[in-house]
Structures are given as structure tokens and as C-alpha cells.
Amino acid sequence: DAGVTQSPTHLIKTRGQHVTLRCSPISGHKSVSWYQQVLGQGPQFIFQYYEKEERGRGNFPDRFSARQFPNYSSELNVNALLLGDSALYLCASSLGPLSGNTIYFGEGSWLTVV
Amino acid sequence: AQSVTQLGSHVSVSEGALVLLRCNYSSSVPPYLFWYVQYPNQGLQLLLKYTTGATLVKGINGFEAEFKKSETSFHLTKPSAHMSDAAEYFCAVSVRDSGGGADGLTFGKGTHLIIQP
């Protein structure tokens, strides 16, 4: 079975631009979360979506937004990119939103802002 | 809010030696605890997790961890290190649902495990 898939794997953007990252969860998983991992740090929670509704949001500015589609795939959007947004963006899926559920991570999208 | 502290950004052990990676957490409510491993240029893979029940948790690849509530610790161990264990290891905590929103996983800064031949 396919795991969590993310696209694109690598991309370079210019400051001020907008980026959209995409994620397909494991088949049967209805919850998708997004994390930002800056080089040398642990991942930081950005959003969790379940059944197309936002269930949780981390401490990120409004430039970050996301949505979940009826097929449970998800997009993360970042507007007005800053150099500090350069990071590995990880998507994760789980069966449901409960905290004890095992969360499975994709391999991430590497974003470089220049 | 919960937090995780991983002692030692780098740990070096000899092949065949005991691996011990330390993790302490802070949480106002009973936590769920996780260890993930990240190989270079890859995503995170779950090694093991503690939710309820037995405090000694066994995971994949010979790793295990023990939840000690009195010490607020969840240290990761492996009796005999293998070269393939070289990677970045992350401890993470989440809190039990309060029926409201989700806070996601809170990760430590990671420990880079180096295996010397």
C-alpha cells in the first residue's frame, strides 16, 4: 500500500511569492496534519484537518493556510514567502484526529526561499 | 502547553554497545509519548509509542522505551547498536483529547546518533 505522498519534493521560490504543497494520505486515513521542520530542529505543528474541517492550528502566522478535500487529500498554502519559511514541510496522516492515533509521515517537500 | 527536552544533540556509541537516548517531557495532563527516527533526506518513521498500560514499550528494530511518570521521562534504549541505527531520533508528546481542538505532536530538537565501527 502507498504511504503518505507529497508533492513537489523540492522547490525554490522567491521572497514574496506564494507556494502550494500537496499531500495524499494513506488510504483509509481521514486526518491530515502539516508540520514545518527547519534544518537542525524538530518538526513544528502547523495544522490538523479531519473530515475537511480544521481541528487544530499551531503558532504560525495567517500567511499559512490549508484545506482538505473530499478525498481527504490536503493542500498547504503559504503566502508572501519569507526567507525563514525555508524548511522541510511534512505531511502526516492518521485514521482519525485522536491524539493517541499513530501518525504516519510522508517524506516531505523541501522549500527553499531565496 | 507541553514540551520535550532531549538531552544531548549528538550521541556517539560503538557498534555493539548500548544505545541510550534521553527524553524528558512536561505536560499538565497525562501524555501520549512517541519516538520517531529520521534518516537523511527522509520523513519520520515511528519507532514506538506509549498510550496507556504497560510502561515498558517495545518498538521496531530492537528499540524500547520506558515511561516513568515520577521522572517525567521516556528514554529510548537498544541493547546493541548497529551501523544502520545511525540517524536522527526525535521524542514527541501529545496530550489526551479534551474534546476540543488538536494540538498535534510537540517534538524535541532531536538527537543525532553516531555509530562508530
- pLDDT tens digits, A19-71: 999 999 999 999 999 999 998 899 999 999 998 999 889 999 999 999 999 99
Mean pLDDT rounded to a whole number for chain B: 91
Inter-chain CB proximity B90 and A105 less than 8 Å: no
Band of the pLDDT at B94, cuts 50, 70, 90? confident
Which residue among A43, A100, A108 places its CB closest to the CB of B107?
A: A43
Instruction: Give the whole-angstrom CA distance, residue B115 versus residue A39.
Output: 22
Instruction: Give the whole-angstrom CA distance, residue B81 versus residue B116.
Output: 9
pLDDT the model gives residue A100: 75
- The β-bridge partners of B1 are none
Q: Number of helices (H) and strands (E) in chain B: give both, helices first.
A: 0, 11
Q: In angstroms, what separates the C-alpha of B88 from chain A's closest C-alpha?
A: 10
- Mean pLDDT confidence for B85-93: 96
- Among A59, A61, A5, smallest CA distance to A29 is for A5
